[in-house]
Amino acid sequence: MTSFYKSLILILALFPFVGAVAQSKTQQRTIILMVDGFGESYYRNSDMPNLNKMEKEGLYKVVPSLMPAVTNVNNIAIATGELPSKNGITGNVFLNPATGKEEYTEDPALILVPTIFERARKAGVRSALFSCKKKTVDLMGKGADIALCAECANAADPEWVEHIGTAPDVYSKEVSYWIMEAALYTIKKDAGLGLIFIHTTDYPMHMWPPESPDAKDFLHHLDEYIGKLHAAAPDAAILLTADHNMNHKDLCWDLDKAMAARNTPIKIAISPEKDHYLKHHRGMGGASYVYLNNAADLDKVKKVLLSLKGIEAVLTRKEASERYGLMPERIGDLMVLGDKVTVFGNLEKTESEQLDANYRTHGSSYEAEVPLFVYNAKNAPKAGYFKYNYLLAAWLFR
- Using the predicted structure, report yes or no on whether residue 25 has a pLDDT greater than 60: no
Residue 15 confidence class, pLDDT cut points 50, 70, 90: very low
Least confident segment among 27-36, 93-102, 372-381: 93-102
List every span in the chain annotated with CATH 3.40.720.10: 28-245+368-391
Cα 356 to Cα 10, 23, 70, 142: the distances in Å are 69, 54, 21, 39
Using CA atoms, how far residue 127 sits from 14, 121, 150, 391, in Å, is 23, 8, 18, 19
Parts of the chain belonging to CATH 3.30.1360.110: 248-361
pLDDT at 17 over 80: no
Categorize the per-residue pLDDT at 97 as very low, low, confident or very high, splitting at 50, 70 and 90: confident
Q: Quick: pLDDT tens for 135-194.
A: 999 999 999 999 999 999 999 999 999 999 999 999 999 999 999 999 999 999 999 999
Q: At 302, is the pLDDT very low, low, confident or very high (cuts 50, 70, 90)? A: very high
Q: What is the CATH number of domain 28-245+368-391?
A: 3.40.720.10
Region 323-341: what's the mean pLDDT?
98
10 pLDDT higher than 90: no
The per-residue pLDDT of the chain, averaged, comes to: 92
Strand 369-375, strand 352-354: pairing: unpaired
- Mean pLDDT over residues 72-94, rounded? 97
Instruction: Indicate the pairing of strand 268-270 with strand 287-291.
Output: antiparallel
Going by C-alpha positions, the residue among 131, 152, 147, 137 that lies closest to residue 201 is: 131
Neighbour count for residue 58 (Cβ, 10 Å): 18
Strand partners, 9: none
Give the pLDDT confidence score for residue 277 in this predicted structure. 75
Residue 4 confidence class, pLDDT cut points 50, 70, 90: very low
| H-assigned helices in 190-316 | 203-207, 213-232, 255-261, 278-281, 298-306
Amino acid 98: pLDDT: 87
Residue 278 confidence class, pLDDT cut points 50, 70, 90:
low
Q: How many helices (H) and strands (E) in the chain?
A: 15, 18
Give me the helices (H) in the chain, please: 3-26, 40-45, 49-57, 71-80, 84-87, 116-122, 134-140, 158-164, 174-189, 203-207, 213-232, 255-261, 278-281, 298-306, 317-324
CB 69 within 8 A of CB 362: yes
In this prediction, residues 317-336 reach a mean pLDDT of 98
**What confidence tens digit (pLDDT) does each residue in 220-251 have?**
999 999 999 999 999 999 999 999 999 999 99
Q: Which pTM was predicted?
A: 0.92
Give me the percent of the chain exceeding a pLDDT of 70.
93
Residue 276 banded pLDDT, cuts 50, 70, 90? confident
Q: Which range, of 279-283, 343-347, 386-390, averages the lowest pLDDT?
A: 279-283
DSSP state of 295: G
Q: What superfamily does domain 248-361 belong to in CATH?
A: Domain 2, Phosphonoacetate Hydrolase (3.30.1360.110)
